[in-house]
Structure 1
Amino acid sequence: MSTWRMAGLNYVNYSNIAAKTLRKSLKSNLRDDAAKRDASIIRIFFWEDGSILNEGQKPKAAEQKPKT
């Protein structure tokens, strides 16, 4: 069994910890460049009938409440 699994981590968590440790160990001039690559941005787009919806708009199916 992998060490990271025995520690109770999944691969994504293990990979993030390893990447942060590596970035911290770099020399200062390389550390700044690596820190820029650390940031990530996630954007979510909703589509309906083949076209993208405006920001803040959700598909009609998501707005309907299930009948109970």
Structure 2
Amino acid sequence: MPAWRDAGLSYVNYSSICARLVRLALKPEFRADAMKRDITSIKITRWRDGKPIKKTEPNDAPKKRSSL
């Protein structure tokens, strides 16, 4: 069994950690460009009946309200 699996990581988490460490190990003149690639973003699309119904950004997603 791979060491990353023994540590309880998914392959995506493992590869993300490895990529970040490689970027940090670069010489300063190359690091700035590489760190720009470290920024990620996601889009959330709701689906109904096999078709997208609304595209939302993570900040636009409805927030859960407490019942206090």
The root-mean-square deviation of aligned C-alpha atoms, in Å, is 2.6
Which is higher, the Rg of structure 1 or of structure 2? 1
Unaligned segments of structure 1, at least 5 residues: 57-68
Letter of the aligned partner of 1:44 in structure 2?
Answer: I
Which has more strand, going by share of residues? 2
Runs of 4+ in 1 over 2 A off after TM superposition: 43-48, 50-56
State the identity as a percent: 47
Q: Quick one: which amino acid aligns to residue 7 of structure 1?
A: A
Confirm or deny that 1:24 pairs with 2:39. Answer: no
Higher helix share: 1
TM-score (norm 1): 0.62
Question: Where does structure 2 lack aligned partners over 5 or more consecutive residues?
Answer: 61-68
